[in-house]
Chain A
């Protein structure tokens, strides 16, 4: 399946990616730069707010942003480990 996909899709679209879309790659780099700037500004704002609200940081209580998928994954792995121990 992979070979047929390479033969039917990747090889015919190679000139697009190398020649036609060169300017779009430039635009993509611009978009990546804008995303990087926004994310770094957001992180700076969060760390400033964290430093302002808790001047003496407690141990293990660092990242309020460690939520979402990382926490979910950690929870899943933690559950597996407990089951293995028992």
Chain B
């Protein structure tokens, strides 16, 4: 049972060859590019969705921040699709791997910090000290703010990893419990099955929310620095 529980998080190989890169590239095939003046329904729906998300997320930024729209929209679409595809049975979710999430979080966070230092150095450095701080507290607060700055990419990555991994593990456990209880005590198995259905609905929501939270936080870090 223990071996099976973590089997879905092992990087998949086919005859010894890793196919992780193919799995990561797969969601991009699900988004067709618009190629006509008036497209078909699927592409129009996709276009409407991206417009809605980009308007909601990018209106707070100035001109410099809005040059990151393509990056942030690609990010939210990628993470959202990957998380939702991971809810299919026997599929592998790349966002359960901390390595991948750190690989997304560190360049983006570092990009926002370097943008801030490059364009508005004084304002970026001023973020290390909140307004209205009493003078004796200044050294300690600068240290705390520096630590909180360096924790940001780690928090971004670990938040996404932990949420998705925990959800998948929980579904696996409760599904196993339902199966085991069916021969022992059927009413309890029914209750466990209802819990599983509710959990699946929660996981659908969590998949989309986590994508939104990741992108929103990167957007906020960008807003602080542009």
Residues of A within 8 A of B (CB): 8, 13, 16, 20-21, 23-24, 26-28, 30-31, 34, 68-69, 71-73, 75-76
Contact of B18 among A27, A31, A69, A76 (CB under 8 A): A69
Q: Which residues of B lie under 8 Å from residue A21 when comparing CB positions? A: 71, 111
Binary A-proximity of B1-28 (CB < 8 A = 1, otherwise 0):
0000000000001011110000000000
Main secondary structure of the interface of B (DSSP, over half): helix
Some 17 contacts from A to B, beta carbons below 8 A apart, are: A8-B33, A13-B70, A20-B67, A21-B111, A24-B111, A27-B107, A27-B109, A30-B110, A31-B102, A31-B110, A69-B13, A69-B18, A72-B17, A73-B17, A75-B16, A76-B15, A76-B16
Known: A20-B67, A20-B68, A26-B111. A72 touches B106 (CB 8 A): no
Q: Which residues of B contact A27 (CB under 8 A)?
A: 106-111, 114
CB neighbours (8 Å) of B110 from chain A are: 23-24, 26-27, 30-31
Bound-state Cα–Cα, A72 to B16, Å: 4
- Which of chain B's residues has its CB closest to A76's CB? B15
Note all chain B residues with C-beta closer than 8 A to A23.
110-112, 114-115, 118
What is the chain B residue whose CB lies nearest that of A24? B111
Q: How far is the CA of A31 from the CA of B110 in the complex (A)?
A: 9
Evaluate contact between A72 and B71: CB separation under 8 angstroms: no
Contact count band on B: 20 to 34
B114 touches which of A13, A26, A34, A69 (Cβ 8 Å): A26
Q: Which chain B residues (157-209) contact chain A, with CB distance < 8 Å?
A: none
Residues of A within 8 A of B71 (CB): 20-21, 24
The chain A residue sitting closest to B17, CB to CB, is: A69
Task: Name B15's closest neighbour in chain A (CB-CB).
Answer: A72
Residues of chain A lying within 8 A (CB to CB) of residue B17: 69, 72-73
Partner of A72, one of B13, B70, B118: B13
The chain B residue with its CB closest to the CB of A15 is B67
